[in-house]
């Protein structure tokens, strides 16, 4: 596998090349990058052999949550996704149980590290950053803790332009840039202490939080109020082969591709057509990775239609009413099979299609990470939650939610302030689900450019209306809010700003050249692999091939990092042409014959301890289980991740066993939220300055 | 009204095995439990050690029986409960503790327990890499061991279900109807029950049950915290106990379970009375500093989870077993003082012989642990 050298949006990753060893072979990686990334960049995808199942394990969350990526580093078991690569490291496959190496040097130093603040903000994503800014403005001392190296949360993985409004939430700006802007603002406050590479591992009843920092030290933080902006975790899915290396979440994929810049796959398939799955396809194509397709069990795309249309235009088929039935491969994913479902969502096996891919991304929804909120509420601490931790929605709404949370916390801590009602309204609108779809009106081309708006579904987004110098694009007055669809009226100067800013790549310009030909202007977010004079494949809004157009001009709008392509096309198709096909159709062809095993109960629910759906269902029935805690007996939830991965699957598993989930007692959450080595808890090795 | 021969209050370390043995002996048994499933009181918090090497005959006999049952439950009933005969090792670094333990040895040997004083070299062999500075040796009892409290509770739950025991979960006993010092009806928040015999096996809540009947059961919980690490290959066998005092702790102890995880627990000093089981921030820094100091090799292992559980204590540190002095048909199996898990199965079998068969061979145990005893003595090794 390769590193990504020629990304349309991201700059090439630079750093010192260092030698390291894996199973005694020499390799090279970039100093400071996660060991897992260095391994994947060297085509090493099997990190361990599971102690119980004797099966290979690879990267899974890339987020420090699970322990699938554990390897032996210089003799000690460590999670490779959160261990920075150092020169000369000896990395080994973890086979079954690790050995704890003898280490007899006496304890000669230990320290208790403790400090205080007014408000502890957990999670520095869009909501946490905004909450921090509001609290800092009110004069509170704030400690912002985030487990990544860079602030911004998932914003730093988003290479696409954001929806929403320019005024309120940076619409039209790419996520990575929004993250940087917010982080910059936060760092300007003297009363904010930022702890990156730090995880809150426990909220204790004596109003302290335990922080695991830089993989080596442990702090206790005393706080008065707590803001929980810990984001979401990805839901997983049970199917045959779901534990194979190469099956992982879209979040992990985005981390590998957009943060660490490794071309982690050749070809992927994606389950789930929400915005996360759709965007993952877009990220893959930008990274030079083929996307064989996206499937969704529902009969309509779950994400924004403009996103889906954009992906289809790029040449990725979306299979609706289809579910994944198996992933196969010897040591990692080699093939995946999907099938159509009937009205009861059961697969129709004679419709099975198998694709040859090396990676399967699961993007079937998110669930809030709000355990610290629950804990703090239980202890009666002043606490608020914001962003996905509160309700799964777009980052634009999380930013507003963060501001509101910051103000609410200020109020809880005694400040006499009211939350501006317009904030709540805006946050609500930005959360809106996609609304109605409108038919497009027939357009007659003129001899001068005019915009063709291919955005026909109500979503909360309006940057096109803000950038037009002639104010010639407005939202159609229908619902009367940000979700109305845009409409062009008046004069177009042909400036192409609307083309460049639209997050959905859903605006083109077109004008008549003569009776036969027209010129269109298309947005393009890939490094052009064509030149002026070349003929390239053009599609309509929904991705259907229309014709080859001749490239007349290639420009780049630097502000919006978007290429603007002028092409000559037939007059007949000019108003229909909406995009440029990126990938050849061969990449999306299923195999001639489907190859799969359909054993629904064979899928793994607990990845840490490798417990299958069937085992759990049987146990629920035989032991009349009505308490998730009872499943610990078969080790469900006893692994390193603390039940974070399997918890989202359990409702359906109980349902399968004939038990109403409402009747079931939830599992107990206790510290630590992540595993912490003993030397870190006593700060044996760490003497470091605070930020 | 639900009628049973015997109603047990509490589906914990004591109540669940007891329900099985009673039902197996022919009684019609119900268990009332306020939590959603078995073992959700303090069984879930037990770390799993089982030793017979106590300081008084009754506890020795009961826990010997437990070891016998738990070590054979796999062969006899087909339940793997992670039993491991790793022994108990009290590692000694002070003269006082050496003297105390050597004194106790005489008594323990008198009861034919397999325990002896071992020199530092032997300690270092059992726990390779243990801090040898000031190590005086220790007492070692190779026949003691450990098992998974969760799995033992679960095994007895399954056995009890198969033996016909009725478990009523999510039902909290909140009232009794009595008639001349006899319980006639037990009221939970959902139902009412009657039984010839009511057994109070309510662990940390034993005293509250007594209060409903105006009888004072001297059980006062305090709390200890425990934790568990990631699993690694086995590198030592015994439960290791360090009796010294720390900054905010008395003794602490740890062992490696069958999964390969280190399970550890600390006794706070001063004691923390009450029923609070929320985790505190003080526990980990204190216990880990002491553990790494004693056993430096542990520094590289990762702590996975912590929890806090109750030690339902009695004034003298010994359990209370027997009929309540005031309520004729209430039998007490309470105040296990943190040893409910290692006493439960043995106690269950013994009490079924006492209560169903009317056997007198356990009278010595009942006498020692009688609710009407003089509570002024004190357990030597808590």
The pLDDT tens digits for A375-430 are 999 999 999 999 999 999 988 899 999 999 999 999 999 999 988 888 888 888 88
Rounded Cα distance between A324 and A343, Å, is 16
Same domain as A383, residue A357: no
Beta-carbon separation of B306 and A632 below 8 A: no
* Domains observed in chain B: 2-74+149-219+316-368 (3.50.50.60), 84-142+221-312 (3.30.9.10)
Measured CA angle at A74 (ends A73, A76), to 5 deg: 65
Domain range enclosing A159:
113-232+368-430
Rounded Cα distance between B313 and B338, Å, is 7
The pLDDT tens digits for A253-268 are 999 999 999 999 999 9
Say if A105 falls within a structural domain: no
Q: Quote the pTM value.
A: 0.95
Q: How are the residues of chain A apportioned to helix, strand and coil, as percentages rounded to the nearest 5?
A: 25, 30, 50
Main-chain dihedrals φ then ψ at residue A49, nearest 5 degrees: -115, 120
Cβ-nearest to B131 among A106, A110, A204: A106
What totals of helices (H) and strands (E) does chain A contain, helices first? Answer: 15, 41
Answer yes or no: is pLDDT of B379 > 80. no
Same domain as A455, residue A561: yes
Beta-carbon separation of A105 and B129 below 8 A: no
Answer yes or no: is pLDDT of B197 > 80. yes
Say if A681 falls within a structural domain: no
Same domain as A18, residue A142: no
Same domain as A245, residue A227: no
Question: Model confidence at B382, in pLDDT bands (50, 70, 90)?
Answer: low
Answer yes or no: is pLDDT of A92 > 50. yes
- Give the residue on B whose Cα is nearest the Cα of A106: B296
Answer yes or no: is pLDDT of A83 > 60. yes
Cβ-nearest to A97 among B231, B293, B300: B231
Spell out where A359-475 has E strands: 359-362, 366-368, 383-385, 450-453, 473-475
Beta-carbon separation of B169 and A208 below 8 A: no
Rounded Cα distance between A509 and A529, Å, is 22
Beta-carbon separation of B303 and A218 below 8 A: no
Which residue in A364, A358, A323, A353 sits closest to A244, CA to CA? A358
Say if A521 falls within a structural domain: yes
Answer yes or no: is pLDDT of B1 > 80. no
Beta-carbon separation of B292 and A104 below 8 A: no
Last-in-domain residue among A342, A362, A382: A362
Rounded Cα distance between A410 and A225, Å, is 9
Say if A593 falls within a structural domain: no
Same domain as A224, residue A120: yes
Q: Can you list the alpha helix ranges (DSSP code H) found in B163-280? A: 206-211
Rounded Cα distance between A400 and A169, Å, is 8
Main-chain dihedrals φ then ψ at residue B195, nearest 5 degrees: -155, 155
Q: Please give the DSSP secondary-structure letter assigned to residue A388.
A: G
Length of chain B: 382
Beta-carbon separation of A100 and B300 below 8 A: yes
Question: Model confidence at A1, in pLDDT bands (50, 70, 90)?
Answer: low
Measured CA angle at A102 (ends A98, A104), to 5 deg: 150
Question: Is residue A638 within 8 Å of residue B151, measured between CB atoms?
Answer: no
How far apart, in Å, are the Cα atoms of A260 and each of A11, A30, A363, A390? 11, 10, 20, 28
In 10 A of CB B268, how many CB atoms? 21
Tell me the average pLDDT across B344-362: 96
Rounded Cα distance between A147 and A125, Å, is 10
Answer yes or no: is pLDDT of A519 > 60. yes
Nearest chain A CA: its distance from B148 CA (Å): 9
Q: Please give the DSSP secondary-structure letter assigned to residue B296.
A: G
Main-chain dihedrals φ then ψ at residue A481, nearest 5 degrees: -135, -170
Same domain as A174, residue A70: no
Say if A689 falls within a structural domain: no
- Give the residue on A whose Cα is nearest the Cα of B298: A678
pLDDT at residue number A686: 61
User: How many beta-carbon pairs below 8 A join chains A and B?
Assistant: 150
Which residue in B335, B320, B356 sits closest to B197, CA to CA? B356
**Chain B contact set for A670 (CB, 8 A):** 279, 305-307
In percent, how much of chain A has pLDDT > 70?
99
Main-chain dihedrals φ then ψ at residue B363, nearest 5 degrees: -60, -35
Same domain as A228, residue A372: yes
Beta-carbon separation of A633 and B276 below 8 A: no
CATH number (domain holding residue A54): 3.10.20.440
Strands A94-95 and A335-340: unpaired
**Chain A contact set for B292 (CB, 8 A):** 107, 110, 678-679, 682, 684
How far apart, in Å, are the Cα atoms of B302 and each of A593, A685, B99, B246, B297? 47, 15, 35, 22, 12
DSSP letters spanning A504-549: T--EEEEEE-SSSEEEEEEEE-S-----TT-EEEEE-TTS-EEEEE
Q: What Rg do the C-alpha atoms of chain A give, in angstroms?
A: 26
Tell me the average pLDDT across B102-129: 96
The pLDDT tens digits for A455-505 are 999 999 999 999 999 999 999 988 888 999 999 998 999 999 999 999 999
Strands A119-122 and A225-228: parallel
- Give the residue on B whose Cα is nearest the Cα of A52: B259
Same domain as A196, residue A212: yes
pLDDT at residue number A600: 81
Say if A672 falls within a structural domain: no
- A89-114 CB burial, b ≥16 within 10 A, e <16: bebbbbeebbebeebeeebeebebbe
Sign of CA dihedral B279, B280, B281, B283: negative
* Mean confidence (pLDDT) of chain A: 94
Answer yes or no: is pLDDT of A60 > 50. yes
**Chain A contact set for B233 (CB, 8 A):** 97-100
Q: List, in order, residues 6 or more apart from A229 with CB less than 8 Å away.
A: A121, A122, A123, A124, A125, A127, A128, A131, A385, A386, A387, A389, A398, A402, A405
How buried is A433 (Cβ within 10 angstroms: 0-12 exposed, 13-18 middle, 19+ buried)?
A: exposed
Which residue in B117, B118, B116, B120 sits closest to B136, CA to CA? B120
Same domain as A226, residue A130: yes
pLDDT at residue number A691: 44
Same domain as A70, residue A44: yes
Q: List, in order, residues 6 or more apart from B188 with CB less than 8 Å away.
A: B32, B168, B171, B172, B173, B174
Answer yes or no: is pLDDT of B20 > 50. yes
Question: Model confidence at A687, in pLDDT bands (50, 70, 90)?
Answer: low
Same domain as A297, residue A243: yes
The pLDDT tens digits for A571-580 are 999 999 999 9
Say if A626 falls within a structural domain: yes
Same domain as A373, residue A357: no
Beta-carbon separation of A102 and B299 below 8 A: no
Coil, strand or helix at B315: coil
Rounded Cα distance between B109 and B118, Å, is 14
Beta-carbon separation of A629 and B282 below 8 A: no
Q: What is the domain count for chain A?
A: 4
pLDDT at residue number A441: 79
Cβ-nearest to B291 among A379, A671, A678: A678
In 10 A of CB B61, how many CB atoms? 19
Question: Model confidence at A2, in pLDDT bands (50, 70, 90)?
Answer: confident
Say if A445 falls within a structural domain: no
pLDDT at residue number A183: 97
Main-chain dihedrals φ then ψ at residue A74, nearest 5 degrees: 45, 45
């Amino acid at each position: 596998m390769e590193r990504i050298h020629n990304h349309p949006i991201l700059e090439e990753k630079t750093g010192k090349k260092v030698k390291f060893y894996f199973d005694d072979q020499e390799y090279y990686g970039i100093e400071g990058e996660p060991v897992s990334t260095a391994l994947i960049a060297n085509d090493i995808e099997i990190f361990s052999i599971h102690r119980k199942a004797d099966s290979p394990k690879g990267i899974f969350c890339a987020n420090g949550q699970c322990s699938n990526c554990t390897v032996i580093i210089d003799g000690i078991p460590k999670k490779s996704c959160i261990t920075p690569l150092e020169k000369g490291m000896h990395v080994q496959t973890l086979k079954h149980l690790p050995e704890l190496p003898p280490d007899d040097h006496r304890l000669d130093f230990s320290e208790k590290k403790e400090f205080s603040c007014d408000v502890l903000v957990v999670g520095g994503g869009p909501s946490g950053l905004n909450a921090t800014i509001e609290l800092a403005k009110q004069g509170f001392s704030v400690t912002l803790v985030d487990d990544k190296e860079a602030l911004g949360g998932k914003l730093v993985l988003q290479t696409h332009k954001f929806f929403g409004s320019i005024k309120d939430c940076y619409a039209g700006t790419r996520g990575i840039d929004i993250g940087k802007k917010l982080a910059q603002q936060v760092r300007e406050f003297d009363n904010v202490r930022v702890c990156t590479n730090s995880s809150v591992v426990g909220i204790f009843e004596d109003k302290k939080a335990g922080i695991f920092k830089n993989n080596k030290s442990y702090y206790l933080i005393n706080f008065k109020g707590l803001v929980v902006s810990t984001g979401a975790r990805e839901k997983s899915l049970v199917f045959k082969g779901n534990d194979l290396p190469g099956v992982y979440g879209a979040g992990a994929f985005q981390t590998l591709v957009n943060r660490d810049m490794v071309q982690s796959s050749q070809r992927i398939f994606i389950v789930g057509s929400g915005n996360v799955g759709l965007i993952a396809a877009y990220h893959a194509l930008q990274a030079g990775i083929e996307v064989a397709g996206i499937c969704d069990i529902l009969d309509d795309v779950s994400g924004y239609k403009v996103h889906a249309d954009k992906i289809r235009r790029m040449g990725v088929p979306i299979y609706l009413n289809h579910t994944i039935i198996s992933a196969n491969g010897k040591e990692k994913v080699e093939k995946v099979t999907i099938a159509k479902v009937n009205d009861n969502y059961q697969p129709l096996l004679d419709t099975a299609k198998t694709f040859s891919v090396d990676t399967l991304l699961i993007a079937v929804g998110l669930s809030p990470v709000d355990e610290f909120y629950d804990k703090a509420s239980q202890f009666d601490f002043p606490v608020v939650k914001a962003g996905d931790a509160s309700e799964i929605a777009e980052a634009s709404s999380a930013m507003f939610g963060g501001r509101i949370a910051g103000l609410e916390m200020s109020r809880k801590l005694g400040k006499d302030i009211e939350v501006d009602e317009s904030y709540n309204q805006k946050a609500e609108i930005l959360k809106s689900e996609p609304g109605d779809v409108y038919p497009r009106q027939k357009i007659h081309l003129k001899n001068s450019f005019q915009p063709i708006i291919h955005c026909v579904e109500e979503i909360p987004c309006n940057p096109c209306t803000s950038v037009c110098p002639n104010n010639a694009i407005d939202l159609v007055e229908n619902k009367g809010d940000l979700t109305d669809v845009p409409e062009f009226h008046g004069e177009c100067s042909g400036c192409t700003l609307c083309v460049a800013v639209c997050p959905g790549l859903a605006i083109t310009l077109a004008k008549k050249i003569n009776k036969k030909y027209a010129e269109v202007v298309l947005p393009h977010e890939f490094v052009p692999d064509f030149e002026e004079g070349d003929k390239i494949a053009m599609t309509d809004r929904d991705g259907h091939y229309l014709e080859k157009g001749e490239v007349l001009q290639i420009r780049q709008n630097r502000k919006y990092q978007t290429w603007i392509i002028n092409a000559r096309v037939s007059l007949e198709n000019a108003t229909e042409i909406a995009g440029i096909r990126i990938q050849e159709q061969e990449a999306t062809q299923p195999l001639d014959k489907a190859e799969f095993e359909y054993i629904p109960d064979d899928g793994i629910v607990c990845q840490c301890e490798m417990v299958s759906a069937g085992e759990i269902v049987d146990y629920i029935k035989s032991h009349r289980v009505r308490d998730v805690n009872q499943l610990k007996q078969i080790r469900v939830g006893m692994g390193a991740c603390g039940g974070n991965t399997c918890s989202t699957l359990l409702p359906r598993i109980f349902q399968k066993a004939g038990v109403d989930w409402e009747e079931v007692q939830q599992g107990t959450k206790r510290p630590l939220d992540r595993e912490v080595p003993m030397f870190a808890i006593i700060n044996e090795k760490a003497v470091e300055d605070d930020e | 009204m639900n009628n049973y021969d015997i109603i047990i209050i509490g589906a914990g370390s004591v109540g669940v095995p007891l329900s099985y043995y009673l039902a197996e002996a022919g009684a019609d048994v119900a268990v009332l439990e306020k939590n959603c499933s078995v073992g959700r009181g303090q069984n879930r918090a037990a770390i799993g050690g089982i030793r017979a090497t106590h300081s008084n005959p009754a506890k020795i006999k009961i826990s010997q029986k437990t070891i016998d049952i738990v070590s054979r439950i796999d062969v006899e009933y087909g339940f793997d409960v992670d039993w491991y005969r790793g022994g108990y090792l009290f590692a000694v670094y002070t003269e006082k503790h050496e003297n105390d333990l050597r004194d106790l040895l005489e008594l323990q040997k008198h009861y034919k327990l397999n325990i002896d004083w071992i020199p530092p070299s032997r300690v270092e062999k059992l726990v390779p890499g243990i801090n040898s500075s000031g190590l005086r040796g220790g007492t070692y009892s190779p026949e003691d061991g450990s098992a998974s409290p969760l799995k033992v509770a679960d095994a007895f739950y399954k056995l009890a279900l198969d033996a016909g025991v009725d478990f009523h979960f999510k039902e909290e006993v909140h009232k009794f109807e009595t008639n001349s010092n006899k319980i006639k009806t037990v009221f939970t928040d959902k139902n009412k029950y009657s039984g010839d015999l009511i057994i109070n096996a309510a662990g940390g809540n034993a005293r509250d049950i007594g209060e409903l009947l105006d009888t004072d059961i001297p059980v006062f919980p305090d709390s200890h915290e425990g934790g568990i690490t990631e699993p690694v290959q086995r590198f030592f066998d015994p439960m290791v106990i360090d009796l010294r005092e720390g900054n905010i702790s008395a003794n602490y102890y740890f062992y490696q379970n069958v999964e390969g995880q280190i399970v550890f627990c600390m006794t706070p000093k001063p004691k923390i009375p009450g029923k609070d089981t929320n985790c505190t921030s003080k526990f980990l820094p204190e216990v880990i500093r002491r553990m790494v100091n004693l056993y430096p090799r542990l520094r590289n292992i990762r702590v996975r989870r912590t929890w806090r559980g109750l030690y339902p204590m009695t004034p003298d540190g010994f359990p209370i077993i027997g009929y309540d002095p005031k309520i004729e048909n209430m039998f007490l199996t309470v105040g296990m003082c943190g040893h409910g898990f290692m006493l439960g199965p043995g106690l269950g079998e013994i009490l079924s012989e006492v209560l169903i068969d009317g056997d007198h061979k356990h009278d010595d145990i009942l006498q020692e642990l009688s609710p009407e005893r003089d509570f002024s003595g004190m357990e030597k090794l808590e």
